[in-house]
Every structure is written in C-alpha cells, then in structure tokens.
A and B are shown apart, each in its own frame.
Chain A
Amino acid sequence: MIELRGVTKAWPGGAGVQALDLTVPEGTCCALIGPSGCGKTTTLRLVNRLVEPDAGSIRIAGQDALAQDPVQLRRGIGYVIQEGGLFPHRRVGANVAVVPALLGWDAARTRARVEEVLALVGLDPAVYRDRWPHQLSGGERQRVGVARALAADPPVLLLDEPFGAVDPLRRAQLQEEVLALLKRLRKTVLLVTHDVQEAVRLGDSVALMRAGRLVQHAPPAAMLARPADGFAADFLGADRALTRLGLFRISDAARDAATVPGEALPEATTLRDALSAMLERGVRALPVTEGGSLSLEALLASR
C-alpha cells in the first residue's frame, strides 16, 4: 500500500505537486497519467524520495517513508525506468543481483534468486545471465529491468514509463505479461505513463493529473464513462467510449443463443474489436467461437 497525504513539492519553474492525496491499495496498480509537466513523474519520485516533499506524509506498507533513511528506503522499493536503466558495464546476472548485493545477501542465495527472477520475466537464465545489456533487444532489456526490480522481493514497485522504448508491436504483449506477473506476485505498483491506452489497460485505477493536482482518480472504466471535467474528457480523447469498450471482452456481454453466419470470434476478443468487426462486415451480430452470438444491442447494453 502506498499512501500520499497532502504531499506538496514546489519547483522553481512551477509544475510541482500541490496537496496531493493518493492511495494505492495493496496488490493493485495505479497508473499516473497527464500531460507533460503535470507532476506525474515528480509524484513517482516522491515515493522513493528521489524528490523530497516540502510538506505532507508518505506511507509505504504502513511505514512512514519520510522517517526512514532514503537510501535504505529505496532498497526496499522496486524501481524500473525507461529502457531499464541497466548498467552497461555489468552482465545481465550482475545487473539483476544489484539490490541483493546492496543488502548483503550471500552468493548462493543471490545466484538462486537471480535465476528465479529471470525465469519469472520469461528469460532463460542459462541463456541470458552472462549476456551484456548491449546484446539485448529493447524488450529484453526491459524484462531484465523488471527482474532487477523484483530481485529483493519488494512489496512496492515504481515504474517510470517502463514500456516507452519497446517497439510498439511487442509493447502490448510485454505490458500484459509484466502486469500479470506483478498481479500474481501481489505487488503494489505505481506506474507513470503518458499513454491513455496503456494507463487504462494496466491500471486497476487511473490517476489523472494536471498542473500538480489530481483531477480524477478512478477505475479505468469509470473514468472513461464519466470524466470529471472537460479537461479529463479531452485528455481521455474523443474516442474514450471506444477505449472503454476495449476494457471488456465478449465473455463480459450477454450472449444470444442464435447462431449467425460468418467467421466466429473467440470470447476473449475485446468488445472494441467486436464492434470493429461488425462495422467492417456491416452486420449487427457476430458468431462466437465458444457458441452462440453477440448482437450489437447486447454489446451496447454491456456498457
């Protein structure tokens, strides 16, 4: 759990954070979004005290973060930045072992843990442990970055635009994989992104910021359905209703027993893709692979 209460940080040039209240419950992911300069990255860096607040309180897993030594505090928080921030002069294994080394783990324990977390992020330790960062693709580097953040098993992770440098084709898959992993491990995650699609797909809640203030903090579907104000509506985009449909799958909608002709879609298909298929085919109902069909009326009713 991450709790910010009345957190304020003023920068000389403006664009700080003003009296921010934000709670990320245990085991959930909160996606911070907003235009550049809105204070989302500052907020993230306040949590591990790379930025010191002028006022307010910060609690992590029930502990007062401001009362702890910042260096010790950071060793207990996973941190992933864009492109992973790997040390180019150390092999993958040594990169992953960084925090265990800082914490003084013995060699055997560290080695076993490095293998474990590399496997968790989908990299075969035997293949990757002795590679250099420059020998990896962007996606692999990002996976190593996540493995490194998980190495000491911190309860809380901070991700700063972690998928920005991954090629767009692989990005969606990597995002889903990483978030599924963090969910399975019951991690509490604060994620910064400038991408609305990424925020609504990955966040259990989305926190929209503007000029250092929290505009709205809500589950993605609720925020897309009811933006708090005109700024929120604009930022979420004119296609926010479509974005929202992308959060639901055919399996979430009511199904007709009747069969209709045409190529069937699996029920894991998002309603957004289903609507797109209806538009493309010019039909009001689609067959579903698992049986029955989805009608336009059922799709609209499921909103």
Chain B
Amino acid sequence: MIGWLRSNPDVFLDALVQHLALSVVGLGIGVALALPAALLLARRPVLADWTSGGAGVLRTLPSLAVLAALLPLLGVGFTPSVVALALLALPPVLLHALVGLRGAEPAAVEAARGMGFSPWQSLLQVEVPLALPQIFAGLRTAAVQVVSGAALATFIGGGGLGDLVTQGMALLDTAQLLVGGIAIALLALGTEAGFGWLQRRVTPG
C-alpha cells in the first residue's frame, strides 16, 4: 500500500481532489436548495408535510439506484455525479431543518410575534437560531452520505477515490484497492467528526 502510494502519488492526489470536489459541490448544491426550501416551507405546514414525505422517499432510494437512474438522463462524468450527490444531500438537510424550525420553542416564537417581529424577522432571528442544532445534525448526516456516496461516482465516470477501488479490482491490484477503500473510510470518518464538532458547537448547554 505504502509502496503503491509512493509510486503513484499523482494518481492518488488527483482522485482525492476529484472526490473532494464532487463532495463539496454536491453538498453545496444540496444545501443551497434544501435550506431556503426549509425556510419557505416552515410556515406552510401542509406543503411542508408533502415535501417531507417526498424527501423521505428520496432518502430511502439507494445511492447507486439514483446514479443509475440519472445515467440515461444526464450521461456520464462529473456533472451527473454532482447532481446525484446533491439529491443525496437534499433530504436529510431539508427534513432536519423542517423539524428544527417547526419545533422551535413555541413560547419564544409566540413572544416574538407578540412583541412585533415580522414573520421573516421571527424566522431568521428566533426560529433559525433555535433550529441550529437540528440544522447541523442534518448537515452532518448529509455530508457523511455525500462523502461516502461520492465513492460510487466512479460507476458513471465521475472520478474520485472510487476510481482507485474499481481499478484495483479490475487489475487485481490489492494495494491500490485498499488505498482507495481506506481513504474513503477515513474521509467519511473525518467528515463525521468534523460536522459532529460543529453540531456540538451550536448546541447550547
């Protein structure tokens, strides 16, 4: 393994950078869609319920199935992989944010309204801060899923560390396979730890 890394540092670094790019862009798009959607839906309980239902369904689809479904629509490469990862990130962020916003301490929300906060002021100054622990729990789940999911991008030519695994398998190169597998695992663990730390930072007490 160390030997393989020594002789192929560029291959590894390229795969790692690709993997990170896939993850960051995918997660970024997912969050950029899910958080505003949660804010807009927070005051529309019926629509929020419908969306939660839809997001729940999307969440149960296996990542590989989503990738496969996108193949005929978007073809192969970086873009369809990012789209798939964004779809993977969307449900946990949206669901957690909605739960957090709708569960924000009712007395505080009632007081905000009664003291003359406009609906948006109340949302941004009271409900969002109170929902932050939940929102970050959603980000954590989404980030870990995306980082793990990005390993599958190799199947639709999206690159990333998954390439090392598939090539290692094809060439029966155990060292390359292990480097890819272990790097993916470490990345996922690191993401979990990092976002877990962030989540604890925003959780009071």
Contact = CB atoms under 8 A, between A and B. Distances in A.
User: Which label, helix, strand, loop or mixed, suits the secondary structure of the A interface?
Assistant: helix
Interface string B3-40: 00000000000000000000000000000000000000
Contacts of A85: 107-108, 110-111, 114
A284 to B, nearest CB: 51
Contacts of A76: 116
A74 B105 contact: no
Q: How large is the interface on B (under 10, 10 to 19, 20 to 34, 35 or more residues)?
A: 10 to 19
A270 B204 CA distance: 46
Contacts of A86: 108, 111
Interface string A96-115: 00110010000000000000
Nearest to B117: A102
A72 interface: yes
Interface string A52-96: 000000000000000000011111100101111111110000000
Contacts of A98: 112, 115
A88 B105 contact: yes
Given A74-B116, A75-B116, A88 B111 contact: no
B80 to A, nearest CB: 40
Interface string B22-64: 0000000000000000000000000000000000000000000
A48 interface: yes
Given A79-B115, A87-B130, 5 more contacts: A71-B118, A72-B116, A81-B110, A81-B114, A84-B111
Interface of A: 48, 50, 71-76, 79, 81-89, 98-99, 102, 132, 134, 145, 148-149, 158
